[in-house]
Structure 1
Amino acid sequence: MQAIQATFDDLGTRLADVTFVVVDLESTGGSPAQCGITEIGAVKVRAGVVLGEFQTLVNPAEPIPAFISVLTGITDAMVAEAPRIESAFPAFLEFAAGSVLVAHNAGFDISFLKAAAVRTGTPWPDFDVLDTLTLARHLVTRDEAPNHKLSSLARVFASGTTPDHRALHDARATVDVLHGLIERVGSLGVHTLEELASYTSRVSPAQRRKRFLADSLPHAPGVYLFKDADSRVLYVGTSRDIRSRVRTYFTASEQRSRMADMVRLAHAVTPVVCQTPLEAQVRELRLIDEHKPRFNRRSKNARRHLWVKLTNERFPRLSIVRQVREDRAHYIGPFRSRMQAQAAIDAVHEIVPLRQCTQRITGKETACALAELGRCGSPCTGSQSHDDYAHVVADCAALFAGDARSGGDRLRARLDELAAQERFEDAARIRDRFLHLVRGAARSQRLAPVTRAREVVAARRGDAGGWEIVCIRHGRLAGTVVSPRGADPMVHVRLLQVTAEVVPPPAPGSAAALVEETELLLRWLEAPGVRIVELDGSWTCPVGGAGALRHELEPAVAAAHEVVGFDRDAGLEASRGRGRDRHRRAG
C-alpha cells in the first residue's frame, strides 16, 4: 500500500513547527495615536527552545510622564541616546519575520506596532497573532489565580522571570506562560496552530474529538448532512468547500450554541458533491424539505406558504388560502406568515372599497359599520349593483395582475391626506401594510414567467474560466454543468438539455418545485453576468407592476425602522419617491 502524505490544510500546522515571537512594549501612555513606544522586547522560540532575543530602548520624541517612569523605571535620560522608532521598528520586523506574534493583552502591543508602521510608512506584515490573556481566561480558573494579569500567571506557571514592566523581562515571562498554556491545551487534544488560535473552553473535548468526521470529506462545493447513530439527518448545510466548512463545527469558529448539541449527537457526515454553488443551494433546500432536520431552522416549512386570493364569485372578496387553484381567481404571494398576508389585505381595503364580510350576498342584508363609514359600497343591501361593484373588483385585480400605478396613486393620496391631518403614525402603518401587499404582488409577478417557461437555459462565466450552465424547467432546476475553459460551451448546453431531468408541466394548482427553489433560481438568473442561452416560453415583467411600487416603498420603510425617532414628514416624503420598473421580453 502506498503511503499518502496528508496536506498541511488537512493536518494544520503542528505547534512544534511554529516559530513564535513573544513581544512586549513599554510606552508613554495608553493611546497609540497620541503616545510613543519607549522599549521593545521580544523572544523568539520554537518547540520550547529559545532561538534569539531582541531588546531596544526607543526615543519617543516626547517627555515620559513621571508616573510612567515610576512604573517602568525608564526615564528621559535613558532614552535620550536611544534610536527613534524609524530605526527600531524595521529592526524588530526583521527579527520577527515569518513568525507568529504572541503578547499578553495583544490588542495593546499590536495596536502600538501598527501605529508605528503607519508613522514610519512601513507596510504592516500579515502576522498571525496569539493572545495569552485570551487563552488564559479559558484555561486558568479563579481557584488558581485571582486574576489573569501577567504577574499572576507567571506565578501559576512558575516562570523563571518575574514581570517588572520592562519589555524583555515581561516577554520572557510571557514565554513561560505560553508554554504552560500550550501544555494544558495539548492534553485537551489541541496540537496545531489553527486549533490553538481558535481554542475556547466553550468547545468541549468531546466536540473536538469528533474532528475525524471531516477527515474523509472532499475539498469540493456541495452539501453535507450530519447524521446520528440511527442515520437520521440532524442538520443539512452547504459550502464551497465541504471539508473546510465541516471542520469548523469542531472549533470556536462555530458560535451557535445549538450546533454543540448537534455535534454531540452526530456520528457521521455525508457529503453530496455538486457541480456549482447554485446546485448545492438547491439540493440543500430539497434535502431540508425531505428530512426536516431538527437542527435546521431555515426552509423547514417551505411548503407552508399562504396566498391572498381575490375570489371568483358574484361579489368577490379577499381571503387567505394555502393553495393556488385553477379557478380563474386572482392570487398574490406566497406570504411567509399569516400576519404578512393579513397586512396585505388590510392595505387593499385602505384604497379599494371591497366588501369585507364573508357571507353569501343576497341583496337583502343589513348594512354594516363599514358601509356607514363609506369604506364599502354595501352590495349586501342592494345599494351597489353588480356592475358598479365589478369596477371596484377590477381595480384590485389590476393591482394583483400587473398594474400597480392606480394603486400607487391612491396610496400617495391617502398618505398625503393623513399627513395633512398630522396622523403620521396612521400613515406609517398604512405604508408598512402596503409594502407587504406589493411584496406579495411583485413576488407572484416575478415568479410567474419562470414557472410557466417549459425550459430556460442560462450561463455565466465561472470563477476559474469556462461557463456555469443551468437548465430550468417549470421553475425547477433540471440540471447544471460546467464547461471547461476554452471549450465550446454550446456542446455542453446540448448535452445538458438531453440529460437534464424531465419536468412535466405541473397540474393546475400545483408547482414543479418549492417556491424557495424557484426564487433562488430567479435570483441567479437576474444576477449580473448571466446570459439567457435558450428560452422555451416568454419572459415578461409588467411595466407598471408591483415591483416599481415596491422599489419606491422599500427605502422609506427601511429608513423609518432604522432611525430612532425618525422624522415622520421626511419618511412620508421619501415614500412618495418615484421608483422605476423594468420591462423585459423574450420569446
Structure 2
Amino acid sequence: MLPCFVMLDLETTGGSAVRDRITEIAAVRVENGVEVDRWSTLVNPGVSIPSFIQSLTGITDAMVEDAPTFAQVAPRLLELLDGAVFVAHNVGFDHGFVVNELARLEKPLKVERLCTVRLSRKLYPQHKGHGLDAIMQRHGLRTLARHRAMGDVEVVLQWLQLAQAELGTEAVQREAAALLQGGTSVPPQLETPVEDIPDTPGVYLFYGEGRTPLYVGKSVNMRTRVLAHFQSAAKVAREARIAQEIRRIEWHDTAGELGALLLQTRLVKELKPLHNRKSSKKAQVDLVQQTLQGWPHAGRIGIREHHARTGRTDVHVFDQWCHVATVHSAEDLDDVRHSRQALAFDLETYRVLAKRLAALTGRDSTVFPLENAHG
C-alpha cells in the first residue's frame, strides 16, 4: 500500500483524547509490503475503566493493574513509528490519543497519517458503511478478538490484502498516495464531503449525533475555515472534541462577511451550540452602558453586499442599531421599508454593525437610507 507504514489500533477508557486514556496498543510495521515488526501491550491508564468499556473490550481494571504506563511504553511506540506513516481505521481517534499522551510527556509527534476509513470510501464508493464492522460484513472477514487492539489491526490488514487482490495493488497504492498527499486532517467519521462545502461567504454548522449543533461558525471562505478547524484538532482541546464528535456539516450562503456575522449571531442565540464561547451577561451590560452610541442616521438604512462570483446580493436593513431583516429582492425591501415590527436590540449585532459602519469604504458594500422608514 505504502512503502513504509505502521497499522495501529488502541483501546481506551472512553472517546475523548483529551480526557480519557489508553488501555491497550497494537502495532504492525510493514515495509515494502512485508511485515517487519509487530507489538502489542496493555497499558495502565492510571484511572478506572468504565464498566461499559470493560464489557465492550474485555479489558478490566485487574488486567491493567500491573501493566506498564504509557510513559514506559512510549519509547517502543516511537521506535515503531519512526520513518513510517501512521495508519489506523479512524486515524483521527488513535492519532489524537497518542498525541495527547505524548504531550503529557512533552514529546512531540511529527508523522504522516492515513485513514483506512477514508481509503475504503475511495476504493468502494458504492457502499455506504465503512466502519470496521461494515467492512467485515461486506468482505466476510472474521476475528475472535473484535475490540481488542491486535484483533482489529489484523482485520484491517486482511482487508487491505483483499482490496489489493480485488482491485489491484496499483489502484490501492494510488488512492492511498492521493489521500496522503491531500492530508488526513478531516475526521474519518464525517459524513459530509468537505469538497461539497462552498469556498464562499456564509455560516457553517457542525452536528454530532444530536439535534443541537456542536458549533456554529462563519467565514468569507467556508471550506477553508472548516478545514482549519480540523487541522487545529491536534493542538487545541476544543477543536479535538469537535473533531471527535462531528458527524455532518450544514451551511448557509451569504453575499459577504456582514451577512455571515449577522446570521451567525442569530443562530448562536437561537440554537445554543455546545462549543461556542458564551459571553458574560454582566460584561454585556457593562459594555452597553460604557460604549452604546446614539443611532447616527435619520431612519432605517440598508447595507448592500454583493458576491461577484456567485451573483448573490443581500441587503441588510437596520434601525436604531437593530437588525430588522436581510432581503434579496426589491419587493422584499419595499415590504421592510414600510413594516412596523418591534425592534429587538442585541449586543452582538450592535458590535458587528458599529464596527462595519466605522470601517465602511463602499468597496464591498453600500450603505443607503430607506425612505419612509418611520412614515
User: Which gives a bigger RCO, structure 1 or 2 (Cα 8 Å, sep 6+)?
Assistant: 2
Q: TM-score, normalised by structure 1?
A: 0.33
- Please tell me whether Structure 1 or Structure 2 has the larger radius of gyration of its CA atoms: 1
